[in-house]
Chains A and B, each alone.
Chain A
């Protein structure tokens, strides 16, 4: 197992350049949540010449639609959703300054290319580990699209959020590399 790197948000080009596909990381700082419907609205807003609901420079978007928080808890279970559904929107956001995405599952070539061109990272988190991951989320506030319920955009504060670098800014892909390493002839 490689050493676990501790990183802070917002991400800088310097930090992004140090991260390599396969690195395990613990992320601390502010992140924003957004999935299908929120992405559609953000892109629609941009197309209408409107602003995004938060300053995207250096930020990480976590693809998650949490379950409702129990009384006294900041958030309910909060594991990653499958990322390819955001592929149509991600390159536009990366171009505007988005530095990180957290989700699960492979990304389209457009997204991987944008990560190389604009220095961004795609992180994977463990799908179906929503109760465990929620422990890293200390605060959550809905900042936009309240009517979307679980899909609303939340500003979350995380401490030691566990993730792994899938696509780095150099074109490496852990999903390809990992499978190559363990596949046997079928």
Chain B
């Protein structure tokens, strides 16, 4: 089997472009759901917030400026075809070079810092890179700009098996209630159930990449997502926490098998500025 060669420089250029586009252009599926919420929201102040968000995302697109000043840590999900061969450099270096270039050229905020001294690294690296090897000879790169406000409201909880589904539902709803206005509602709630401690967090984050308005492929989980969304939107938090019915735009759930002793649960909260872009090379 002949390997298909992909030059690292090509990846760097693509990543640079993804970083900028993700921060300038709200995904169409996200803005459509926000526009629908604007029609349905009964709270005048909530409606006003949604209007500001719609106007803001339009300005960002038209002027090619970041829709939010928190242009995030750059998170990558890479699907690397096992018949693809990266030449001229390492994959991770190529991605981080693209982040440096994109965050500089796009006037994006650099937000990585030393955890103790809080000194800014200055170029928004290192980025967070998750690589999965898949069949084929292509490489698919998904870039998500993950802001700090909503990430701070996210949690991993090692539940007890006896907590069961009811315990899981309660934990998720309580997490959204306690987060209140902090994560910039309306939010998208990414839920990972199962796996290990770190795996639950990863699948929770991955669930956020599913386009809004598309059903969960598993009918039981689809029902669970809808039930959770209804419950969350009864909390009354509303847009930016000012009171209202649009607290979440969607709940996405991914479930994987776990250890017989464990019930890992991760809730990854995503703000309304749900920024991600992808490319296949």
Contact = CB atoms under 8 A, between A and B. Distances in A.
A184 to B, nearest CB: 4
A135 B152 CA distance: 28
B59 A131 contact: yes
Interface string B59-73: 110010111111100
Contacts of B55: 129, 132
Contacts of A65: 69-70, 109, 111
Contacts of A24: 45, 48
Contacts of B152: 82
Residue in B53, B70, B110, B182 whose Cβ sees the most chain A Cβ within 10 Å = B70
Given A76-B109, A175-B242, A106 B60 contact: no
B240 to A, nearest CB: 6
Interface string A77-119: 1110110100000000000000000001110000000000000
Given A175-B241, A182-B245, A128 B53 contact: yes
Contacts of B183: 82
B43 interface: yes
B44 interface: yes
Interface residues of A, number: 52
A150 interface: yes
**Interface size class, chain B:** 35 or more
A31 B48 CA distance: 24
Contact of B56 (A64, A105, A132): A132
Contact of A1 (B44, B56, B67): B44
A181 B243 contact: yes
Interface stretch (A9-17, A46-54, A67-75): A67-75
Interface of B: 42-46, 48-49, 52-53, 55-57, 59-60, 63, 65-71, 107-111, 118, 120, 122, 148-149, 152, 173, 180-184, 231, 234-238, 240-245, 271-273
